[in-house]
Structure 1
């Protein structure tokens, strides 16, 4: 069962990421990227753009830095959930570093189209897509493991919807190709799969230390 879990949560999404990366490097995603953007561009409007800008903020490093600071303060105030909170903070930091590192290796330029927001840096994989998958994906994992509320699956569904909308927003705003977003998602899923295993191992050790 563990081997199957590793294959589904780490191996498969990582293999998909590698495939997308190779397709990007060999410029075999151009038609797909153009088609997706052309379809999305048909619904661009000033009103929708303002909504999309708000959605994309929920996957921004700026927001996640603020959240990390708030979570860090909450640990100092109440140590009851210190383990889960510290894992969330570490997850944000490491996934952001991993994304930036891969971007600097691939060095894919951003789309040369109408950009509805100003942004710098490289394009592949999408940082918003990967980090939102890593952050909200970890919240989903923790919710599945710890939440007993009847609203659990509604909350999880909202997180999943937000992840998808953030990816959509990056294409809509003209700052990422569709392949960037898919690459970010697949790497984010693989990252969460690996990180969840680390959490399980650390949590067992954490519980043993507290009992002692």
Structure 2
């Protein structure tokens, strides 16, 4: 089973070959007007520091690449501003709510606080791209500009490369105590929560229901990371895996074996994908467009994620399985696809039952179905218990993430969108 170190080793040749070039070029682009707003230079610079800690790049060379690139980018911005800036701002500034009076005030401030503006402004993504341009437009003396440009560019490079370097060192320390995959899950969780908060702060589109979805999503991601880390380190869950693997053979009665074999053969991922076609048609016929697209993305994404995770983890299957399977074990493909299929079945039709009893039986039947499929894999010893739990966790993480993404997409689309059918929107809550 590869560790994150092995994943890093996989990209190391590319980093070693193109790392300095990427840092240099993106530092230039990020410092220039317009391109500086969209180019993710900061992220690349931080990654440069991270790979300096891993030994793939030289720390001093990364700082020099970032610093020189930033200085050149600011220089280009200054020249553009010096030659064309004043005319452009006077002619087109009104379209950007930048009046001539604002320009005169900006020029005065630039002359009075040139050093502070150039150095401090470089650490803000928006001002970083335009401060050199404004300095040129304001006809700041070139020698004065270059002094502060060099100080600001080198300071910026040292800070952001240093953040990546420290993160790389902290990663090594934290991963020893938390586990590398748990740490990845924590980082992803922070990104998801931060994105959720930013979107809701500006759009106000998420309800209390979606907060619960977010909490389930984070819990599923943690559980998935925990299963992988325990399997990798041979910790508690791995020991439980081995215990169940031995004890389950007590239940190996011919009738039970035939029954579980039938379950596992009927509920293969390929079979569930085929059966999903019927579900697609039903949802389309009933005009449940939201659920139709959610099912498509759930199935396609689930298949890809399950295969991707197996390729990353590379966990071997139990050696005492009742039949041979030639691919990797974690997460269980049967568990992942069964969870996605029956959860989508439940999510799509649970509100169609008028009888409370029938609704409860339907919910219980869906839950029992994916649990039975998961148990069949453990019973036949073709999977460890943690493989099945990881499959369920992966399916839950993916579906809940899609629900949040779909809510955002639907809320930002025009009313003419095919997803904006009133019969579907009331299902999103």
Measure the CA separation in 2 of the matches of 1:45 and 1:208: 53
Q: Which moved more, 1:149-158 or 1:52-61?
A: 52-61
Q: Is 1:187 matched with 2:394?
A: yes
**Cα RMSD for the two superposed structures:** 2.6
Which one of 30, 41, 48 corresponds to residue 249 of structure 2? 41
Q: Name the CA shift for 1:89/1:200 in 2 (closer, same or farther; >3 Å).
A: same
Q: Paired residue for 2:238, among 26, 30, 40? A: 30
Q: What are the within-5 Å matches in structure 2 for residues 1-212 of structure 1?
A: 1=208, 4-28=211-235, 29-71=237-279, 78=285, 80-113=287-320, 115-144=321-350, 146-150=351-355, 151-201=358-408, 205-208=417-420
Further displaced range: 180-189 or 169-178: 180-189
Q: TM-score, normalised by structure 1?
A: 0.85
Which of 1 and 2 has higher RCO (CA within 8 Å, sep 6+)? 1
TM-score w.r.t. length of structure 2: 0.44
* Bigger-Rg structure (1/2): 2
- Which deviates more from structure 2 when the two are superposed, residues 196-205 or residues 153-162? 196-205
Against the structure 1 CA distance between its residues 6 and 81, is the aligned structure 2 distance closer, same or farther, given a 3 Å change threshold? closer
Kindly report structure 1 stretches of 4+ aligned residues shifted beyond 4 Å: 71-76, 199-205
Unaligned ranges ≥5, structure 2: 1-207, 412-416, 424-429
- Please list the CA deviations of residues 58-95 of structure 1 after superposition, one character each: whole Å capped at 9, or x if unmatched: 5312212322343456678x473454334323311210
Change (3 A) 1:149 1:199: farther
Count of aligned residue pairs for this structure pair: 208
Structure 1: distance between partners of 2:303 and 2:271: 13
- Per the alignment, residue 130 of structure 2 pairs with none
Change (3 A) 1:64 1:35: same
Tell whether the 8 Å contact from 2:339 to 2:396 is kept in structure 1 after alignment.
yes
| 1:101-146: CA deviation from partner (whole Å, max 9, x where unpaired) | 0100011111111x223322100111111111111112222234x4
Question: Using a 3 Å threshold, how does the CA distance of structure 1 residues 140 and 70 change in structure 2: closer, same or farther?
Answer: closer
User: 2 CA distance for matches of 1:70 and 1:2?
Assistant: 29
Q: Distance in 1 between matches of 2:281 and 2:342?
A: 20
| Equivalent-residue separation in structure 1 for 2:346 and 2:422 (angstroms) | 25
CA–CA distance in 1 between the matches of 2:288 and 2:403? 17
Contact 2:272 2:337 in 1 (8 A): no
Partner Cα distance (2:283, 2:348) in 1? 17
CA distance in 1, matches of 2:407, 2:252: 44
Between Structure 1 and Structure 2, the one with more helix by share is 2
Q: Using the alignment, how far apart are the partners of 2:230 and 2:265 within structure 1?
A: 29
Task: Give 5+ residue unaligned stretches, structure 1.
Answer: none
In structure 1, the residue corresponding to 2:287 is in which secondary structure?
A: coil
Shift of 1:100: 0.4
Q: Which segment is superposed worse, 121-130 or 63-72?
A: 63-72
